[in-house]
Structure formats: C-alpha cells, structure tokens
Amino acid sequence: MSAASISLITAGRRVRRRRWIAVTSLLALLALALCCAMLLLGSTIYPVQDVIRALTGEPLKGVSFAVNTIRLPRMLAGLLAGLAFGMGGYIFQTLLRNPLANPNVIGITSGSSAAAVFGIVILQASGAVIYVASVIAGLATVAVIYLLSRGKSFSIGRLILVGIGIQAMLDAVISYLLLVSAEQDVPAAVRWLTGSLNGSQMDELPPLALSVLICAPLLIVLGKPLHVLELGESSATSLGVSADRTRIALFLGSVCMIALATATTGPIAFVSFLAGPIAKRLAGAGFSNVVPAGLVGVNLVLAADLIGQFAFAYRFPVGIVTGLLGAPYLIFLLVRMNRRGEL
C-alpha cells in the first residue's frame, strides 16, 4: 500500500473520529439539559437555586418533597432505563445483524411483562414482588429462546424466529390474563405495560443502577470486538476475536440491563428499536456506537416523558409517546426491507 493511500485512510479515520466525538458530546449535553428540565419542570416551576438547595439536602417547604421524592427518582429512572434500552437494543441489532432484532420484537421484554401482569392481576402483588418476578421471567425467557434455537451452530435466523414465536405466545398469555382479571386491576396492569416513569421511587432504582454500572462498562469495552463481529464470524476469528465468548458476554450484559430496566419502568416501546439506527445515522460508521446509542436512548425516554407530561391536555405515559414515534419508523423499515428483498 502506497504512502498516499495510507495518508488518505488515516485522514478519513480522523474525520470519522472527530464526528463521533462531536455527536457523542452533543448527545451528552442534550441528555444533561433534559435531566435539568425534568428537575425544574412540573405543576410548579421552581427556580434553579431552589432546586440545587433541595438536592443538597436543605429543607425547603414544598420544593424538597417535589424535587427529591417525585422529580429526582423519575429523572433517574428515565436516565438509567434509557441507557439500558439504548445500549441493549444496539447490541442485539448489531450481534444479530438485523434491524428488527431488538428485545421487544424477539420476546425478551414480553417475558417480564407476562410475569408482571400475572403478579398484578392474579396475585394482587406490587412493589418488590413484581420487580423480582419480572426480572426472573425476563432472564428465563432468554434462556428458553436460546435453548429452543440452539443447533449444531449459532443461527441468527433461528433465534429471531424462535423469539418472535415466544413473543406471540407471551402476548397471548398477557391478553388472557387481562381478560380474566378483576376490572379494578386492569388499569394498573395496562399502565405497567405501556411503560411509565410515574410513581418511580428511589428505593426501586439501586438494582437497575448497579446493573448499569457493571454491565455498561463491559459493553463499552467489548464495543470494538462487537464492531469486528459485524464482519462475520470467520473474519472475526481470523482477527483474533473469540466470537462465542464475546457474543455470550454481550448478550448477558444486555439482557441483565434490559430485564432490570423493564422491571423498573415497564417495557417502554421502541426505545431499544430506535436508539441504534439513530446513533449510527448521527455518529456514522467506523467506530463502536454503544455509547451514542445509550445516550440516544436516554434522550428519547426523557424527551418523550416531558412531551407526555406537558404537550397535551392530558398526561400520557412515556411509552405511549415513544410508541407514536417508533411505529412509523417500523413501517418505513419494513417497506424498505421488502423493496430490497430482505423480507
């Protein structure tokens, strides 16, 4: 390779790196601005200095309760869940090399949802019981999908098909539970199924925060091997990447974060589906987009929650707003894939 070719490649890489850094920085600044808006805005808009004093522990009548008990847990839940859904969705789409292969479509969040609805409408449970049941069910669903799709070798198509079948079965279970449940229990179950930050509490957040603190750095570190896996298993192996080990680590990290995020906020629609493609479109190719995808997820959740709270005459859960954003994109993607002969 000539010196001129090497120089062109190096220059192109520098341009892509600068673009990645600029986009990631802007996404981080936008997420910070949305976090501040979540703390400042509400039925009463408090001055910035009062919010800061309340956050530092100074007792202020009305402000301390609104900020520390209502707005701060809501903001942290949206931040952590958005990061988990965004990163996890990007990992799934990249590993399975299919934009449709996100946790919502292949049945992982449906397992958590079925367990939560069963606990709400049949066991009359709430709080920690729902949380634990939804996490265990989400992880169990992943194990079942993996076992049923396992063959002589790993097959992306087989895993997606099994996941879609499991999702359809679990959705039928959820519909049946709602049909036979007592009328007074249905609203609570439906609110959970739509995905909502309403009623978020600080004591519910430590498990999700711990999973993000542990799994997010793992996914970021494995971002480069993930980028290599996009080239195919044989190419990754020839470049010194242990495909099976890397894939398992990425799957486990993603599933743990997604299961705990779903247990905390419910299955917020389309965040894991939209975050990866948006991040890739903004940051470009050539570098791992795990971090940009996570930041896009945060921005989607927080912005959608603010829109749901203040843009309409009635307040809507965050999952309804993200669903309105994601459904047209899903239709567009299906039409485009059909025209290319990929369906």
Backbone φ/ψ region at 195: left (φ over 0), alpha (ψ -120 to 50), beta:
left
CA count, 13 A, side-chain hemisphere, 20: 17
Give me the pLDDT at residue 1, please: 57
Cα torsion 244, 246, 248, 251: sign: negative
Give me the pLDDT at residue 192, please: 78
DSSP 17-46: HHHHHHHHHHHHHHHHHHHHHHHH-SSS--
Give me the pLDDT at residue 242, please: 66
Give me the pLDDT at residue 166, please: 86
Give me the pLDDT at residue 121, please: 83
- Break the chain into its structural domains and give their ranges: 3-340
Give me the pLDDT at residue 75, please: 95
Q: Could you tell me the two tokens for 251?
A: 């799957």
Give me the pLDDT at residue 113, please: 85
Residues 130, 148: Cα–Cα separation, whole Å: 26
Give me the pLDDT at residue 245, please: 78
Give me the pLDDT at residue 46, please: 86
Q: Angle 249-154-272 (CA atoms, 0-180°, nearest 5)?
A: 55
Q: Which residues of the chain have pLDDT under 50?
A: none
Length of the chain: 343
Give me the pLDDT at residue 5, please: 61
Q: Which residues of 232-257 are buried (b: 16+ CB within 10 A; e: fewer)?
A: eeeebeeeebebeebbebbbebbbbb
R_g of the chain, CA atoms, integer Å: 21
For 67-116, the pLDDT digits (tens) are 889 999 999 999 999 999 999 999 988 887 777 667 776 677 888 888 88
CATH of 3-340, one of 1.10.274.10, 3.90.640.10, 1.10.3470.10, 3.40.50.1100: 1.10.3470.10
SS3 content of the chain, % helix, strand, coil (to 5): 75, 0, 25
Give me the pLDDT at residue 241, please: 63
Give me the pLDDT at residue 153, please: 64
Number of CB atoms found within 10 A of residue 284's CB: 16
CA count, 13 A, side-chain hemisphere, 155: 15
Give me the pLDDT at residue 217, please: 92
